[in-house]
Amino acid sequence: MSDEATSVFARALPLIETTLRRDFRLPREHARAVEEDIGLWFSRFVLRPGSGKAEALRMQLFCAMCEAGRRYWQWRLGGAPVVDYQVRRALAREPEEMARELEAKLRQRQKRKKRPKPEEESDS
Amino acid sequence: MSGELVQFPSPPQRLSHEEGRAAAARALATPISEREAKASELYLDEPELLVPLCELLTRQLETSPSTVCEEAEFFYRFVSIPRRPIGLFDEREYFMGELALIAGTACRVLFRREQARRWFDIAETNVVLVANGAAHVARLAYQKLALAVEERRFDEVLKLAPVWSENFLQLGMPEDALKCRFLVGIALWESGQLRDSVELFRGICDEAEAIQSMRLIAQAVNNLAQLYATLGEADEALACSLKALPLQKQLGDRVGLAKLQWGMGDLLRGQGNVAGALEAYRSALREAGEVGMRGDVAALHLVLADVLLGAGQDRQAEWEIRAALPIIEEEKMVPEGYAALSLLQESLRRRQIDRNALRNLHGYFRDPK
């Protein structure tokens, strides 16, 4: 993966992990395998013509994660209906909508990280 | 995104990026007739091979369009039939769309317009299903506009190309945005608005330098050379040609080189330098022939015939026309120039070449841009 793509993926990974575990309720081991798949896909996706900057493609990365969650449950249940309410709710959402929400969350986190701490302000 | 159910756990990655690149080169070095039988050992279904393969083919579009066309067709067939699982999520659709787009572009370069149109339709059915589909739909729209230029549908180009240029900028694709402006420049040129076209190409040169796109700089300077030649500004034309020549050679852009030499032929002919013009046209013919640009080969034979007729070398001119006619017939070119073609054939039978018919005919595809 290019340095830029690696860094985009690494910054998004904690959110991907949380969403796969909490919203899609994947067991830890399966979540890890799905994360690896998403990482591999993204490493090739950023090489496609017209992909632009990796940073701008984070939305696509989150969409891919939602798609992966959806496909995981199709595989796991062989097409049978999902019983778990939490999973059903996650699967019922539009991937684009969920991706937008995750993107906003990530931006907020990054903003919070960049903001100087109050004690540093008083020190100076 | 769409496609087949993903296998879980997904099959392990068999090739790294670097190994994929080497595998792509190995696959291309294997004759097409032997390839399918060796599909497994060549890793033909491996996305790490298909990504660099598409890159390689795209890079060779300008230098070897015939080969690229054959290769893209082979890999498209391989990926699509039988419906085998390729890569993750949307990758199968992506590769099918990309390979169809490459095949269509190669056909367009090779003057095979109907085939190009069919490939673009196939590409469209796939790219709408892939992530970031808007970018691919836009790339496809560019190819369709380029086809419209070749079919002289200039009103359509002048209306749509600026809109697509804006769209490309919004999609973060500045080089593609510039390519759309190229099409506007050519449409202006062909519509007789030469000064506007010169201004546009000068602007394109500046912008191409700003984004450091050597390919676009070379092509824009090449076009400026021909425009100045048409305007009769020989010094400017020659300066641009001399600037473009090493750039085209460095890029290995044989299509561009053929067009540049064609333009130089026009320039020298305009100056009354018949020997120089013949040499330049023959160089262009050689390049176009080696690259497999049959439309340009036919057109150059006709231009050569015209120059030779002017120099009183009727027998050689006849030979050039006889070399062009089978290509025109085989490729079903210039249906709109059918009357001129018939007149020319008739005059050949009488062994007295109809120069008006000849000029009318090569006017239909005399298009060195």
Of B301, B245, B235, the closest CA to residue B270 belongs to: B235
Task: Report the residue of B16, B88, B126 to disrupt the A interface, i.e. the one with the largest count of A CBs within 10 Å.
Answer: B88
d(CA B27, CA B43): 8
Mean pLDDT of B289-313: 88
Closest chain B residue to A56, measured at CA: B172
Q: In this structure, is residue B99 part of a structural domain?
A: yes
Closest approach of A120 to chain B, Cα-based (Å): 38
d(CA B16, CA B318): 57
Cβ neighbors of B113 (< 8 A, separation 6 or more) are B107, B147, B150, B151
Interchain CB contacts (distance < 8 Å): A and B: 73
d(CA B290, CA B198): 30
Residue A121 pLDDT:
46
d(CA B287, CA B348): 27
Local confidence band at B234 (pLDDT 50, 70, 90 cut-offs)? confident
Q: pLDDT at residue B341 above 80?
A: no
Residue B5 pLDDT:
40
Q: pLDDT at residue B85 above 90?
A: no
Residue B21 pLDDT:
95
Please give the angle made by the CA atoms of B12, B16 and B17, to the nearest 5 degrees: 135
Closest approach of B67 to chain A, Cα-based (Å): 21
**Global pTM exceeds 0.80:** no
Helices B154-170 and B174-190: angle between axes, nearest 10 degrees:
160
Q: pLDDT at residue B117 above 90?
A: yes
Using alpha carbons, list the distances in angstroms from residue B118 to B108, B305, B334.
11, 34, 19
Number of separate domains in chain B: 1
Q: pLDDT at residue A124 above 50?
A: no
Which residue in this structure is represented by tokens 């959402």?
A: A93
DSSP string computed for B317-334? HHHHHHHHHHHHHHTT--
Q: Which of the two residues, A52 and B366, has the higher pLDDT score?
A: A52
Mean pLDDT of B168-183: 95
Q: In this structure, is residue B113 part of a structural domain?
A: yes
Give B72's Cβ-side CA count (13 Å radius): 32
> What is the distance, to the nearest Å, from the Cα of residue B296 to the centroid of all Cα atoms in its chain?
11
Q: pLDDT at residue B279 above 70?
A: yes
Q: In this structure, is residue B188 part of a structural domain?
A: no
CA dihedral sign of residues B196, B157, B229, B217: positive
- Whether B85 and B54 have beta carbons less than 8 Å apart is answered as no
Mean pLDDT of B101-112: 94
- Whether A50 and A96 have beta carbons less than 8 Å apart is answered as no
Of A56, A5, A92, A48, the closest CA to residue B90 belongs to: A48
Q: Does A68 touch chain B (CB under 8 A)?
A: yes
CA dihedral sign of residues A94, B100, B368, B352: negative
pLDDT in tens, A2-53: 778 888 999 999 999 999 999 999 999 999 999 999 999 999 999 999 887 7
Using alpha carbons, list the distances in angstroms from residue B327 to A35, B152, B206.
55, 21, 39
pLDDT in tens, B28-39: 999 999 999 999
- Whether A83 and A77 have beta carbons less than 8 Å apart is answered as no
Q: Does A74 touch chain B (CB under 8 A)?
A: yes
Residue A122 pLDDT:
42
Q: pLDDT at residue B123 above 70?
A: yes
Backbone phi, then psi, for B60, in 5-degree steps?
A: -90, 0
Using alpha carbons, list the distances in angstroms from residue B57 to B50, B65, B140, B328.
10, 9, 16, 27
User: Residue-wise over B97-113: b if at least 16 C-beta within 10 A, else e?
Assistant: bbbbbbbbbbbbbbbbb
Q: In this structure, is residue B33 part of a structural domain?
A: yes
Hey, which of A59-68, B77-86, B243-252 has the most confident mean pLDDT?
A59-68
Q: pLDDT at residue B338 above 70?
A: no
Q: In this structure, is residue B52 part of a structural domain?
A: yes
- B200 burial (CB, 10 Å; 0-12 / 13-18 / 19+) is buried
Cβ A44–B87 below 8 Å, yes or no?
yes
Residue B114 pLDDT:
95
Cβ B136–A56 below 8 Å, yes or no?
no
d(CA B271, CA B274): 8
pLDDT in tens, A77-118: 887 888 889 999 999 999 889 999 999 998 888 888 777 666
Which residue in this structure is represented by tokens 């907020």?
A: A108
Closest approach of A110 to chain B, Cα-based (Å): 23
Closest chain A residue to B7, measured at CA: A75
Cβ A64–B131 below 8 Å, yes or no?
yes
- Terminal alpha carbon distance of chain B: 38
Q: Which of the two residues, A3 and B225, has the higher pLDDT score?
A: B225
Q: In this structure, is residue B14 part of a structural domain?
A: yes
Eight-class DSSP state of A20: I
Closest chain B residue to A66, measured at CA: B1
B2 by DSSP, 3-state: which?
coil
Q: Which two tokens stand for residue B334?
A: 């210039």
Of B7, B89, B135, the CB nearest to A67: B89
Using alpha carbons, list the distances in angstroms from residue A76 to A69, A71, A81.
10, 8, 11
Q: Which two tokens stand for residue A64?
A: 């891919």
Q: pLDDT at residue B122 above 80?
A: yes
Q: Which domain holds residue B73?
A: 1-132
Q: What integer best gives the mean pLDDT of chain B?
A: 88
Of B5, B6, B173, the CB nearest to A52: B173
Residues of A in contact with B58 (CB under 8 A): 49
Q: In this structure, is residue B177 part of a structural domain?
A: no
Residues of B in contact with A5 (CB under 8 A): none
Q: In this structure, is residue B337 part of a structural domain?
A: no
CB atoms within 10 A of CB B319: 14
Of B23, B101, B106, the closest CA to residue B60 belongs to: B106
Eight-class DSSP state of A19: I
Residue A118 pLDDT:
61
Cβ A56–B173 below 8 Å, yes or no?
no
Q: For B30-132, where are the alpha helices, taking DSSP H only?
A: 32-35, 47-59, 65-80, 91-109, 113-127
Of B6, B136, B172, the CB nearest to A75: B6
Hey, which of B7-16, B275-284, B304-313 has the most confident mean pLDDT?
B275-284
Q: Which two tokens stand for residue B9?
A: 């756990």
Cβ B1–A72 below 8 Å, yes or no?
no
Residue B3 pLDDT:
42
Q: Does A98 touch chain B (CB under 8 A)?
A: no
d(CA B336, CA B306): 20
Residue B256 pLDDT:
84
